[in-house]
Structure formats: structure tokens, C-alpha cells
């Protein structure tokens, strides 16, 4: 049963992240997952200083708060004309540095690194079960990541058209009366919630990888946004299943192997897809 749970968690994290990843890749903001994985450091330090506890719920609350601050700042800088890669870089390095400074000032005697208190491990996720009225209702991660997956599906399918036009052509979107800035913040909010919820269950590498790699692969295979999302979700599921199987054969890190498989799939797409190397066609609005 543990095998099934882990593959399910991997697939849920992958689907949830790659779905958002498609928009992020198109907006040249795919490194945002990595940015959040670092920038939450001051969040856990501040949460620890206030509560005096390293309880995972407290840590996650602190991380979620700073995660939102991170995406808010990145989006705000971008709105005011800073290039997207620069605004991601500035925000996450500065926030991470604030965390390092806070640790060196106040909490040197406490084991407070992200690996220890925030990042989970997918291998152990099946045992971290949720109980309702004394009965186990399955791993906490399935519920947490599953909820963020459903939220993403719901919001994206409700506002698909708005997200699409705001992503490809913000000027046109504004002309059509779509509140572009609102949708950018909404997307960023989803990214923040999904990543922090996943970090706690499965660790950083799987989340960061699943945001970028399947979406980038799907981008090589199609011109149509809706198809791109479907392909990227499928790729992330394949990566989870195959990655778990290979990790089983090699006795290796599960999250790591899943992302390696996603990377290999990217390479295959790059070399063997008929349009992989000569992908010049721009996305069309009529997708």
C-alpha cells in the first residue's frame, strides 16, 4: 500500500505543480518554485521566534506567510518594470539572506534549517497519517496536496480564458477588460500555496523540478495551451510512476529519481520530437 500512496502523492504533487508550471514557463517565471523554496527561511525563523516551537504546523504557517510575501513582491516588482528573472532573483536572495541573518542573530543554538523543520520526505509520507475520530483516513500528504491540486484545477478551469489571455498578451487582456494584475496575483497565490503545501510533504527538489520540467517538455510538443497543460500533467504522472520504479530498483532517493526521469523525458522530447529543435512557432491566441 505504501507504494501506491507514494506514487499517488508524487503524481498529485507533479500534476498540481506542472499545471501551474505551464503558465510560469510561458511567463518566463519558472524559477519561482526554487525561489520560494529558499525565501521561506525567514518565515520559519520568525514563526519559531514567536512560538518557541518547531512543530511542523507552526513552521508551515510561517513558510506559507512568507511564501505569499515572496510571490507578492515578485509580482509587484515585475508590475513596476523589473524583468521577471531579476525580480525573482532579487526577492528570493534578499529574503533568504534575511533568514540567514536572523538565524545568526537569534537562533544559533537551535537546529533550524529548512531540511530539518520544513521539507518533508516522500519516502516517509505514507506513515504521516491523518486521523479523524480515531480512524486513519490515509496520509496527510494525500489530503494536503490533493486539496491544493483540486483548488488549482478549479481556479484554472473557471478562469482559463482570463489566465490564458493575461499570460500571452496582457495588453489585449486589459483592452478586453480583464483585470490582468488580479489574475497575475491569483496565479502567484496558487503557486505559493501549492509549493509550500508540497514542500512539507515531499521536500523541495520534487516540487521545484515538477514546476519547471514537465511544462518545459510539453512546450516542446504543442502550440496549444490546453494541450500543453494536459501533456505536462501526464508527463508528471509518468515521471512519478517511472521514477518510483527506478528508485525501487536502485534504492535511491524517490523525489530525486522522479525529477531525473522528468529530465530524461525532456531530453527525449528535445531530440526526437519533430519540432523540438526547431520550435519557433509562437503560441496563438486562438488556441
Partner 1 sequence: MNQMLKKWLVMGLVLLFSLGGCSASDVSNGGTESGKIRVTTTIGMINDIVKNVGGEHVETIGLMKSGVDPHLYKASQGDIKKLDTADMIFYNGLHLEGKMVDIFEKMAKKKPTIAVTKNIPKSKLHAPLDGSQDVDPHVWFNVKHWISATETVAEELSAFDKQHASDYKQNAERYIEKLRQLDDYVTKQIATIPKQTRVLVTAHDAFGYFGEEYGIKVMGLQGISTASEYGSKDVSELRDYLVKNKIKAVFVESSVPKKAIEAVIEGAKEKGHAIKIGGELFSDAMGAEGTEEGTYIGMVKHNVDTIVSALK
Residue closer to partner 1 by CB (options 56, 162) is: 56
- Angle at the Cα of 8 from the Cα atoms of 3 and 11, rounded to 5 degrees: 125
167 by Cβ neighbours in 10 Å (0-12 / 13-18 / 19+) ranks as buried
> Residues 127 to 156: which contact partner 1 by CB under 8 A?
127-129
> Residues 31 to 70: which contact partner 1 by CB under 8 A?
48, 52-54, 56
Instruction: Work out how close the CB of 54 gets to partner 1 at its nearest, in angstroms, rounded to a whole number.
Output: 7
Instruction: Work out how close the CB of 88 gets to partner 1 at its nearest, in angstroms, rounded to a whole number.
Output: 23
Helix or strand holding residue 129 (H, E) = strand 129-132
Residue closer to partner 1 by CB (options 21, 120) is: 120
What span, in angstroms and rounded, lies between the C-alpha atoms of 128 and 113? 21
Which is nearest to 60 in space by CA: 17, 120, 125? Answer: 120
Which among 16-24, 25-33, 101-109, 156-164 is the span making contact with partner 1, rule CB under 8 A? 101-109
Phi/psi zone of residue 189: left (φ > 0), alpha (ψ -120 to 50 degrees), beta? alpha
Q: Is 163 in the site for partner 1 (CB under 8 A)?
A: no
Residue closer to partner 1 by CB (options 125, 188) is: 125
CA atoms within 13 A on the CB side of 77: 17
Residue closer to partner 1 by CB (options 129, 162) is: 129
Site string for partner 1, 207-246 (x = CB under 8 A): --------------xx-x--x--xx--xx-xx--xx-xx-
C-alpha cell of residue 5: 500512496
What span, in angstroms and rounded, lies between the C-alpha atoms of 114 and 63? 10
Point out which residues bind partner 1 (CB under 8 A). Answer: 2-4, 6-7, 48, 52-54, 56, 100, 103-104, 106-113, 115-121, 123-124, 126-129, 221-222, 224, 227, 230-231, 234-235, 237-238, 241-242, 244-245, 247-248, 250-254, 256-257
Amino acid at each position: 500500500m505504501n507504494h501506491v500512496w507514494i506514487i499517488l502523492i508524487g503524481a498529485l504533487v507533479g500534476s498540481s505543480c506542472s499545471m501551474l508550471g505551464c503558465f510560469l514557463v510561458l511567463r518566463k517565471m519558472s524559477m519561482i518554485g526554487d525561489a520560494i523554496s529558499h525565501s521561506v527561511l525567514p518565515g520559519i525563523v520568525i514563526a519559531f521566534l514567536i512560538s518557541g516551537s518547531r512543530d511542523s504546523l507552526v513552521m508551515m504557517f510561517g513558510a506559507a506567510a512568507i511564501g505569499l510575501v515572496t510571490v507578492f513582491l515578485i509580482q509587484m516588482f515585475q508590475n513596476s518594470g523589473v524583468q521577471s528573472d531579476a525580480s525573482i532573483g532579487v526577492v528570493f536572495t534578499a529574503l533568504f539572506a534575511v533568514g540567514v541573518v536572523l538565524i545568526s542573530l537569534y537562533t544559533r543554538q537551535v537546529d533550524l534549517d529548512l531540511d530539518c523543520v520544513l521539507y518533508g520526505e516522500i519516502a516517509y509520507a505514507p506513515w504521516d497519517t491523518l486521523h479523524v475520530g480515531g480512524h486513519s483516513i490515509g496520509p496527510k500528504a494525500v489530503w494536503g496536496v490533493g486539496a491544493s491540486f483540486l483548488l488549482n484545477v478549479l481556479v484554472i478551469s473557471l478562469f482559463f480564458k482570463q489566465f490564458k489571455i493575461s499570460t500571452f498578451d496582457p495588453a489585449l487582456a486589459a483592452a478586453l477588460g480583464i483585470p490582468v494584475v488580479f489574475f497575475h496575483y491569483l496565479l502567484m497565490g496558487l503557486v505559493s500555496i501549492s509549493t509550500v503545501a508540497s514542500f512539507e510533504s515531499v521536500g523541495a527538489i520534487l516540487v521545484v523540478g515538477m514546476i519547471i520540467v514537465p511544462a518545459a517538455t510539453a512546450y516542446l510538443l504543442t502550440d496549444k495551451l490546453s494541450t500543453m497543460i494536459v501533456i505536462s500533467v501526464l508527463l508528471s504522472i509518468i515521471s512519478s510512476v517511472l521514477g518510483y520504479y527506478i528508485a525501487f530498483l536502485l534504492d535511491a532517493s524517490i523525489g530525486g529519481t522522479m525529477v531525473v526521469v522528468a529530465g530524461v523525458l525532456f531530453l527525449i522530447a528535445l531530440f526526437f520530437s519533430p519540432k523540438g529543435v526547431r520550435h519557433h512557432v509562437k503560441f496563438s491566441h486562438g488556441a
